[in-house]
Amino acid sequence: MQVPNSFKLALLKQMLLGFQLSAVSSNSMSFHERKNAIKLSADAAMVFARGSTRWTRGLVSSLSKNRNNDGLLRGILGKKYERLSLPCCNSWKIPRSRKILKRCLGLCSRRKKATGPQHDVESSRTLARRLAKKRIQVLKKLLPGGESMEGFSLLDQTLDYAVSLKAQVDIMRRLLKISKASNLNK
Amino acid sequence: MEPRGSSGVGSGNSGTYTPEIAESLRFEEEIQSLIDPSFDASSAAGGSFTALLGLPANQAVELLHHPGPGEPPASAATDTLRLPFGCSSTFVERAARFSVFATDDSPASSSGGGLSPGLKAEPPDSDSPPTLPAPAGKPRRPSKRKECEKSKAKAVAKKSKSAEENTSAAKPAAEENTSGDKLPYVHVRARRGQATDSHSLAERARREKINARMKLLQELVPGCSKITGTALVLDEIINHVQSLQRQVEFLSMKLAAVNPRIDFSGLDHILSAECGPLAVASGCGGGASDPAMWASDTAASTGGIRRMPAPPQIWHLDVVHPQQSSTVWENNGVAHPHFLLSPATSLVGYDPASSVPLNSNRLKTEL
């Protein structure tokens, strides 16, 4: 695995901190509240451990949209919260300008194709491109903050995100195993 | 993601059929543009064998697709072709039809005689894809026998990439350009008004970067390295990420179900001791263990910690809970010293952390 142990350690630490802060161990919460608190702690811990990347910032912004999460987020992320909530260099202008650019290019190419040679059979290359484009759109929706990313950065962040997710799953699994084992012992 | 598809074409994913089709479709346009402009007889008659291989394909495609206007040059082509070969028209047709021809010369030439005659009488093949890969494959493969194949491939890649950016104005320019070419491999010449070398280099570098990332992603996702084709790999990646996200949901649900009975505060305290100072909001869960018990265990535990057990050990949470009575320790702690492994390292990995033995003493006394 490509994840260093320090990452996993920090992840675990922050997750447990999050559990403490949200007091999941107390009986006062409903099942759903508890589950959401755990998930939030896990995500926030992942963000903390990873540091500042585009997907982490996207994740923080999507998590902080819910007002209830603020306290826990700040508790886990601490000082990093402010840094991570900053919009990264015109993050809203970039996708907008890209959309405009794409629209123009699309119009131009469509005009050219209308005058160019007609093919009954669609070029397989464009077909492959269309398929890949659909997949990329799906990927953008999957990835936190993926809407504003393009091409290489999208793939890069996907890789990063996938690796971090894997580590998160791993840590949670082990935690679960441990807690189950401790339950048995009691 | 414009160059994505073209990157697949340009970098030559030999595993898929689509690059061949793509190339061939590109090629077909250029061949059509070449019908009227000069057919260079000298280059057909002379030159290397591979040159002869290239030309028949050109002419064959012409013949297949434009039997009418293509006849005069076609007849000229076949005339000149009859010079080197005994059965040129059939040979040409065979050459056009079977892409294997290019790689294996002898069977093709021997089987040339057994073909149906009357190439011109043959109606244009409406089903373009099957025949097109043949001529596309042939000129490309003979080109590979040449020394300058890399530049050709690069130019071809450039062409295929810039295909959709072509304006109609560029086509006549291409005609002029390619018609002036004495070499038979006209299709590999770069078009005028297209990207200069610096641009293409940048594009190529970008494509390389993207391909490298794709490879890394393929390695990450299990079972993805055998898959060729960008869309399918992306499919797998999407499935993988989705499954990971779902697993997180599921695990958090399970943890929520398990959780009320677990006090994680003790765990957290141990981790803080392990990893350095941590501002824990709530203090450690009280409870003092028997110091004598700890002291006796310390010596045993330091030796135990240095031994890294191979199978993933579930360390007893008894270690964590300061509230646990000393009776539990007597049962479990002494018998299994290696369970006193730092919970952090056992949870996280099997790092032979050198600081662990040092911290263990501190851990014990704190608890």
Amino acid in position B44:
A
Q: Highest mean pLDDT: which of A117-126, B62-71, B133-142?
A: A117-126
Q: Is the ipTM of this complex over 0.90?
A: no
Q: What is the mean pLDDT of residues B281-307?
A: 39
Q: What is the mean pLDDT of residues A56-69?
A: 87
What's the pLDDT at B79? 47
Name the nearest CA neighbour of A142 among A44, A62, A36, A46: A62
* CB contact (8 A) between residue A166 and residue B280: no
Q: Tell me how far apart the alpha carbons of residues B105 and B95 are, in angstroms, rounded to a whole number.
A: 10
Amino acid in position B281:
A
Q: Which residues of A touch B352 (CB under 8 A)?
A: none
- pLDDT above 70 as % of chain B: 17
Q: Tell me how far apart the alpha carbons of residues B288 and B91 are, in angstroms, rounded to a whole number.
A: 95
Nearest to A128 among B5, B220, B249 (CB): B5
What's the pLDDT at A118? 56
Instruction: Give the number of beta-carbon pairs within 8 Å between A and B.
Output: 227
What's the pLDDT at B240? 93
What's the pLDDT at B257? 85
What is the rounded average pLDDT for all residues in chain B? 53
Name the nearest CA neighbour of A26 among B244, B264, B157, B276: B264
Name the nearest CA neighbour of B34 among B168, B177, B162, B138: B177
Residue A48 clears pLDDT 80, i.e. is over it: yes
Q: Tell me how far apart the alpha carbons of residues A8 and A46 are, in angstroms, rounded to a whole number.
A: 9
* CB contact (8 A) between residue A179 and residue B260: no
Name the DSSP class of B332.
I
For residue A48 the two structure tokens come to: 């903390």
Nearest to A183 among B18, B247, B258 (CB): B258
The pTM (predicted TM-score) of the whole model is 0.51
The sign of the torsion formed by the CA atoms of B196, B200, B201, B203 equals positive
Nearest to A31 among B209, B256, B265 (CB): B256
What's the pLDDT at B271? 61
* pLDDT tens readout for residues B178-214: 444 555 544 444 546 556 788 888 899 999 999 998 8
* pLDDT tens readout for residues B103-149: 444 444 444 444 444 444 444 444 444 444 444 444 444 444 444 44
B19 exposure class (CB count in 10 Å sphere: 0-12, 13-18, 19+): buried
The sign of the torsion formed by the CA atoms of B264, B270, B276, B277 equals positive
* CB contact (8 A) between residue B166 and residue A12: no
CB under 8 Å to B44, separation ≥6 — which residues?
A: B51, B52, B55, B77, B80, B81, B184
Banded model confidence at residue B222, pLDDT cuts 50, 70, 90: confident
What's the pLDDT at B26? 57
Nearest CA distance, A88 vs chain B (angstrom): 22
What's the pLDDT at A96? 73
Name the nearest CA neighbour of A162 among B46, B165, B245: B245
Give the Cβ contact number of residue B132 at 10 Å: 27
- pLDDT above 90 as % of chain B: 6
CB under 8 Å to A50, separation ≥6 — which residues?
A: A7, A56, A160, A164
